Amino acid sequence: MSDIVLLITDIRHPVVNFPPALYEYVTGELGLALVLVLNKVDLAPPALVVAWKHYFHQHYPQLHVVLFTSFPRDPRTPQDPSSVLKKSRRRGRGWTRALGPEQLLRACEAITVGKVDLSSWREKIARDVAGATWGNGSGEEEEEEDGPAVLVEQQTDSAMEPTGPTQERYKDGVVTIGCVGFPNVGKSSLINGLVGRKVVSVSRTPGHTRYFQTYFLTPSVKLCDCPGLIFPSLLPRQLQVLAGIYPIAQIQEPYTAVGYLASRIPVQALLHLRHPEAEDPSAEHPWCAWDICEAWAEKRGYKTAKAARNDVYRAANSLLRLAVDGRLSLCFHPPGYSEQKGAPGSPIQRPRSWWFCRAGWGQQVTRRRRKRKS
């Protein structure tokens, strides 16, 4: 059905959301153009964004790479990596401020090569840029001027059948753009950002979109949104949890994922945590995943209902949600990336090693509690 396929990935870990088999299937067997959308670029340093774009251009020459975010940062606001507890990030109505529609339009123009009139799309982008303002605004949604009414259709599975090379392209002068990708990468948010207002429902919980939906951006551009697809993967479960693929509420043992996160970014320093056994705040103590969860529960006031003990399970889920939302940003580097120079081709910097318990952390916690009681 689609004439152009958009593969949406998260800029923090794009290789997790990029299946090479899908690239070969779309560009080879189907003969369609594939546009890779590096979404949520506001959650990664600009140098890292450029490095990932260079990486995909180098390894997958048939890709059209586009940078996108529905919630661009205000350049007048200073960035402080330690301000994790501030809730001002990605808040408010910001659909009209999306960053990337112009790049996507240029990619589609290069693919269609004049077979479809996309001038109405360019005019819409110009109107959105002219009317966009920084800040939360008045909180009221503006009505679309000189445009078609909002029409979101839920279609059956038969409409999702792939378009073969022999089928007609750009039927009736309309280009159909299909959005695919893993859950929670921002497919529905991308459509809202392109439209300039909320037309499809979004949620932080993966698997929120359940139906195949279409929307006419302009009379000659049709957008398609589908549920998230999970491809077979050999990645660790902890990485899949931090990537937002697995629902956090269904995790029975979240401490391993917290340890995976704490071994790669200084969680305790960013959250200003105090070690549970530290009598002297200036003293150094080894941290494990349980210690981090217990310290976070103490700081946030998470207590169990009956015994009023620190609710470490709730604290662990809270830390994982901070990571998925981007407030604890875990970004992966492409091969050959140097954080100091911010360009590909330099030696890889090894991340600072943070000690955390792996197997047997429960026995260590039990011994500590016994020492406290004695």
Average of per-residue pLDDT values in the chain: 77
Supply the pLDDT for residue 213: 80
Q: What is the DSSP string of 214-275?
A: EEEEETTEEEEE---------S-HHHHHHTT-S-GGG-S--HHHHHHHHTTS-HHHHTT---
Phi–psi pair at 69, nearest 5 degrees: -160, 140
| C-alpha distances out from residue 303 to 53, 218, 349, Å | 45, 52, 40
Percent of the chain past pLDDT 90, that is, above it, reads 41
Supply the pLDDT for residue 352: 31
CA distance 198 to 120: 20
Supply the pLDDT for residue 145: 38
Q: How do residues 85-124 score in pLDDT, each as one tens digit?
A: 655 444 445 555 788 999 999 999 999 998 999 999 999 9
| C-alpha distances out from residue 71 to 42, 126, 201, 348, 369, Å | 7, 18, 16, 30, 45
Instruction: Give the pTM.
Output: 0.77
CB-facing half-sphere around the CA of 203: CA atoms within 13 A: 11
For residue 142, the 8-state DSSP code is P
Q: Please, which contacts does 281-288 make with residues 24 or more away whose CB atoms are closer than 8 Å?
A: 286/355, 287/262, 287/354, 287/355, 287/356, 288/259, 288/355, 288/356, 288/357, 288/361, 288/364
Most distant CA atoms of the chain, gap in Å? 80
CA distance 111 to 158: 26
Tell me which residue of 13, 58, 57 sits closest to 35, measured CA to CA.
57
Residues contacting 94, CB < 8 A, separation 6+: 70, 71, 72
Q: Show the CA angle centred on residue 87, arms to residues 84 and 92, nearest 5°.
A: 145
Q: Which domains does the chain carry? A: 4-225 (3.40.50.300), 237-373 (1.10.1580.10)
| C-alpha distances out from residue 22 to 33, 35, 59, 180, Å | 12, 12, 15, 10
CA distance 75 to 72: 9
CA distance 343 to 279: 44
Q: Position of tokens 């350049």?
A: 75
Q: Are 297 and 273 in contact (CB under 8 A)?
A: no
| C-alpha distances out from residue 109 to 34, 116, 117, 337, Å | 13, 8, 9, 31
Confidence of residue 206 (pLDDT cuts 50, 70, 90): low
Confidence of residue 225 (pLDDT cuts 50, 70, 90): confident
Q: How do residues 112-168 score in pLDDT, each as one tens digit?
A: 998 999 999 999 988 888 876 444 443 333 333 333 334 444 444 444 455 455 567
Residues contacting 168, CB < 8 A, separation 6+: none
Mean local confidence (pLDDT), 1-9? 90
pLDDT of residue 304 exceeding 50, the answer is yes
pLDDT of residue 303 exceeding 90, the answer is yes
pLDDT of residue 272 exceeding 80, the answer is yes
pLDDT of residue 56 exceeding 80, the answer is yes
Strand partners, 6: 35, 179
